[in-house]
Amino acid sequence: MSQAAQQARHIPSGEEIIRCTGVNKWYGEFHVLKNIELSVQKGERIVVCGPSGSGKSTMIRCLNRLEEHQKGTIVVDGIELTNNLKNIELVRREVGMVFQHFNLFPHLTVLENCTLAPIWVRKKPKAEAEEMAMRYLKRVRIAEQANKYPGQLSGGQQQRVAIARSLCMNPKVMLFDEPTSALDPEMVKEVLDVMIGLAEDGMTMLCVTHEMGFAKSVADRVIFMDRGEIVEQDTPDSFFTNPKSERTRLFLSQILNH
């Protein structure tokens, strides 16, 4: 872990883990994703931003095929996402996802939420899965709630459990779909702190968020999307100080000067 921490401001490993080529998607007649070209390297931390309806959530949901793309190729960890169910399941094991509304399983305790997939998908023995779950729950600082049900926790606590649940699968990539948008303001920080910790440990992350502070402090790259296309991608420094496109400038002025 210390080695990973040293890589905090790392030079990307050069090893590609996600590659999207000419990805297009339509909802009926509506063209949501237009020719998405995206390459993500191991250890990269990417923040995706853009106005609502710009397709940013749809794009990251395509990466573990919660949404299906209709044209182009998406290759994750060497596996192309097609209709092949086995491949989809293989990719999903390696790609963790954190949702805006947490989506914890309300009929299972916090601990059971975390051990379910390792036991049934990774076929881990129960004791081992529980030990690992407790380790990750400690890491998101919620271990003392392990035997409670999600309904008994606050939003921030639930989102931290959701992060731990994903981590228990030891994913190679973590996708965050607006993880703080449904939280009360005072709970945003506790979730962001956990995410910053993950980023510092070298986790490959794609994060759809409006938290520009988070983007500035941990992202290697910021992607700006508008109307289904990637308009601009750059390091946070030049993205925020020197945006190239007019659309980016307009978006930044709207979210930064309110």
Partner 1 sequence: MTDNVQSVGLPDERPPANTVGPIAWLRNNLFNTWYNAILTVLVLALLGSAIPPFVDWLFINAHGLDASSAVCRKDNSGACWGFIGEKLRFILFGTFPYEQQWRPLLTIVIFITLLVASCDRRFWKPWLGLVWIAGFLSVAVLMWGGVLGLTPVENTLWGGLPLTLILSVIGLAVAFPAAILLALGRRSNMPAVKVLCVTYIELIRGVPLISLLFMASVMLPLFLPNGVSIDKLLRAQIAFIMFAAAYMAEAIRGGLQAIPKGQYEAADGLGLSYWQKMLKIILPQALAIAIPPLVNTFISFFKDTSLVIIIGLYDLLGAGKAALSDPSWRGFYREAYLFVGVIYWIFCFSMSKYSQKLERDLNRSHRR
Given a contact cutoff of 8 angstroms between Cβ atoms, the answer to whether 113 and 161 are in contact is yes
Does the footprint of partner 1 cover residue 96 (CB under 8 A)? yes
- HSE-CB of 189 using CA atoms within 13 angstroms: 2
What is the rounded CA–CA span in Å between residue 101 and residue 99?
5
Does the footprint of partner 1 cover residue 14 (CB under 8 A)? no
What is the rounded CA–CA span in Å between residue 197 and residue 225?
26
Among 160, 165, 221, 247, which residue sits at the site for partner 1 (rule: CB under 8 A)? 165
Smallest gap from residue 208 Cβ to partner 1 (A): 14
Size of the site for partner 1 (CB under 8 A): 27
Please say which residue, 22 or 78, places its beta carbon nearer to partner 1.
78
Smallest gap from residue 26 Cβ to partner 1 (A): 19
Smallest gap from residue 182 Cβ to partner 1 (A): 11
Using alpha carbons, select from 148, 149, 126, 146 the residue that is nearest to residue 138.
146
Does the footprint of partner 1 cover residue 110 (CB under 8 A)? no
Please say which residue, 99 or 136, places its beta carbon nearer to partner 1.
99
Among 24, 35, 103, 233, which residue sits at the site for partner 1 (rule: CB under 8 A)? 103
Among 71, 107, 126, 249, which residue sits at the site for partner 1 (rule: CB under 8 A)? 107
Residue with tokens 């921490």: 5
Region 134-153 residues binding partner 1, contact defined as CB under 8 A:
149, 151-152
Count the neighbouring beta carbons within 10 Å of the beta carbon of residue 173. 23
Non-local (6+) Cβ contacts of 158 within 8 A are 102, 104, 150
Annotate 203-248 with DSSP letters as a single string. Answer: -EEEEE-S-HHHHHHH-SEEEEEETTEEEEEE-HHHHHHS--SHHH
Sign of the dihedral defined by the CA atoms of residues 184, 186, 190, 192, in that order: positive
- HSE-CB of 73 using CA atoms within 13 angstroms: 7
Smallest gap from residue 180 Cβ to partner 1 (A): 16
Using CB under 8 A as the criterion, what x/- string covers residues 48-87 for binding partner 1?
Answer: ----------------x-x---------------------
Using CB under 8 A as the criterion, what x/- string covers residues 168-207 for binding partner 1?
Answer: -x--------------------------------------
Given a contact cutoff of 8 angstroms between Cβ atoms, the answer to whether 177 and 100 are in contact is yes
Among 37, 68, 80, 89, which residue sits at the site for partner 1 (rule: CB under 8 A)? 89
Smallest gap from residue 117 Cβ to partner 1 (A): 4
Residues of this chain that bind partner 1 (CB under 8 A): 64, 66, 89-90, 92-93, 95-97, 99, 101, 103-107, 116-117, 120-121, 149, 151-152, 162, 165-166, 169
